[in-house]
Amino acid sequence: MKVADLFKHRGEKSQSEFMQWMSPAVREYWDDFMQKTQNHQLFARFWDMQRPAVNDEVQTPETINSDQQKAIELKPEAQKLYDQLKEQIGQVIHTGDWLDISQQRIDQFAEVTEDMQWIHTDPERAEIESPFKTTVAHGFLTLAMLPKLTDSVDPKHSLFPTAKMVVNIGLNQVRFPYPVKANSRVRAVSKLSKVTPIKKGLEIEREIKVEIDGIRRPGAIVVSVIQLHF
């Protein structure tokens, strides 16, 4: 076998291994990329550098998370909640009460954010020109109501009463499948996706759907990350 053919063979083999790690969306464009760039040899050298030696231990996300969890000693109340939540992963852990999204609430949010678009604040014009025939709430208003909708700010209905403090880390994903029309009722349904021990307590990932009363599609779907400090 010629040296050039050998490099090509190594590139194809390395490419095959690498493609097993790709998402379907990336894999769809990979062949075109390799044909246009003609970087089989360069890719083979790069991929070989990334692979561990024969005697090296392969660190997967699962083993890394496991090692991190072993190194963290949780307080008794945090450990108790962690053991409880592990059994609830993939399950709905909270369904909030219905909340009215009135035109007054929409107008107040518009004033605070200075987003006075007519689709939110002008019912008369919206009735004529909007495809929804009424005003709709800002998407960010829906997000701003999540602490209320998930009872995160109500000490009488706290989902995690043993935690000293709940910290909002952020949102990993946000979608607004359907507009929330003025004077609709919404509620949040939270499904537990992940729970991870951290130094101060627990980090929790939830998928939250904001349901609209009488509408099949949700007003929002978000992946929320919070930390519980004990």
Measure CA of the first residue to CA of the last residue in the chain; give whole Å. 64
User: For residue 156, what pLDDT is reported?
Assistant: 85
User: For residue 19, what pLDDT is reported?
Assistant: 54
SS3 (DSSP) at 209: strand
Handedness of CA 79, 83, 89, 94 (dihedral sign): negative
Tens place of pLDDT for every residue, the chain, 230 residues? 554 454 444 555 455 555 555 555 555 555 555 555 555 555 555 445 555 555 555 555 555 555 555 678 999 999 999 999 999 999 999 999 999 999 999 999 999 999 999 999 999 999 999 999 999 999 999 999 999 999 998 888 889 999 999 999 999 999 999 999 999 999 999 999 999 999 999 999 999 999 999 999 999 999 999 999 99
Domain ranges of the chain: 1-19+26-50, 74-99+142-229
CB of 142 within 8 A of CB of 180? yes
> C-alpha distances in angstroms, 163 versus 11, 88, 107, 140, 147?
52, 18, 35, 27, 16
Number of Cβ within a 10 Å radius of residue 226: 19
Q: Residue holding tokens 């190194």?
A: 71
User: For residue 41, what pLDDT is reported?
Assistant: 54
Q: What is the pTM of this model?
A: 0.69
Number of Cβ within a 10 Å radius of residue 152: 20
SS3 (DSSP) at 15: helix
SS3 (DSSP) at 61: helix
CATH class of 74-99+142-229: alpha beta
